[in-house]
Amino acid sequence: MESIKSKARIAGVFYLLIFICAGFAEGYVRTGVLVPGDPSTTAQNILASEGLFRLGLASDLFAFLFDAIVAVLLYVILKPVSKTLSMMAAAFRLIAHPAIASLNMLNHYAALAVLDEAYLVSQPETLSLLFLDLHSAGYLVAGAFFGVHLLILGYLVIKSELFPKVLGWLLGIAAFGYLIESFGSFLVPAHTDIYTIIVTITAVVGEISFTLWLLVKGVRSSDLGTQTNQKS
């Protein structure tokens, strides 16, 4: 049977892969082609980098597949703290990315598909930009669920003897970053740049810290005996 520490380190590996894949897709691919308010330039960028645009979609899908693995592993690791809350945390993570964000990739694909002359779509450039905007909105919806996941995860980490409590607090702060971005962008869209800065800083600090701990330490070895190792 795998130890809790090995499960934690495996979760850390996949969490890191999520950052790499999602960061590439959002931070490099879509940011590189999207020109807000300029459908013509955005469409030209997509067509000029069609292979890269498709690679961004595949990269995101890999990230969401890895998210499902992380959700299950974290559930197994933290189930001894609270089976109900661990299940809730896993459910919100599964809904956020493997479910909502994965379906949202249809908007990413549609932004390219409408530019194909075979579809004979009127105003394809405008529609392409619209689909990219819808994709951004879809991410915000998923972010609300992910924020709740991090909030519950942070509480479980604080209550667990396997991790430093500061990691739980950092995850909790990251949770509010996601929630502020999601609800703020829909309710007061004039400040989206501020929300982006808030979620970027809190998520990087909170989630990267947790990921690095999982990778390097796994869990606190001295406390392994106090936790019940669960079968996967």
Render pLDDT for 153-170 as a digit per residue (tens, 0 to 9).
999 999 999 999 999 999
List, for residues 181-198, the tens digit of each pLDDT value: 999 999 999 999 999 999
Q: Which of these, 102, 21, 19, 25, lies nearest to 56 by C-alpha position?
A: 25
Q: Which of these, 34, 121, 105, 3, lies nearest to 63 by C-alpha position?
A: 105
Phi, psi of 211, deg, nearest 5: -65, -45
List, for residues 214-232, the tens digit of each pLDDT value: 999 888 775 554 554 444 3
Q: What percent of the chain has pLDDT over 90?
A: 86
On whether residue 226 sits in a domain, the answer given is no
pLDDT category at 3 given cuts 50, 70, 90 is: confident
| 93 token code pair | 């993570």
List, for residues 84-121, the tens digit of each pLDDT value: 999 999 999 999 999 999 999 999 999 999 998 777 77
On whether residue 50 sits in a domain, the answer given is yes
On whether residue 209 sits in a domain, the answer given is yes
- Tally of domains within the chain: 1
**Res 117: pLDDT:** 76
pTM of the model: 0.89
Residue found under tokens 């390219």: 112
Q: What percent of the chain has pLDDT over 70?
A: 94
On whether residue 89 sits in a domain, the answer given is yes
**Res 229: pLDDT:** 45
Question: Do residues 227 and 162 touch, judged by C-beta distance below 8 A?
Answer: yes
On whether residue 232 sits in a domain, the answer given is no
On whether residue 67 sits in a domain, the answer given is yes
Question: Do residues 91 and 57 touch, judged by C-beta distance below 8 A?
Answer: no
Residues 6 or more apart from 87 whose CB is under 8 A from it? 75, 79
- Any alpha helices (H) in the chain, and if so which ranges? 4-22, 31-33, 39-48, 50-78, 83-94, 102-113, 124-159, 165-187, 192-216
Domain that holds residue 50: 4-219
DSSP structure class, residue 163 = S
Which of the residue ranges 73-77, 137-141, 216-220 would you say has the lowest mean pLDDT?
216-220
On whether residue 229 sits in a domain, the answer given is no
**144 or 122, which is more confident?**
144
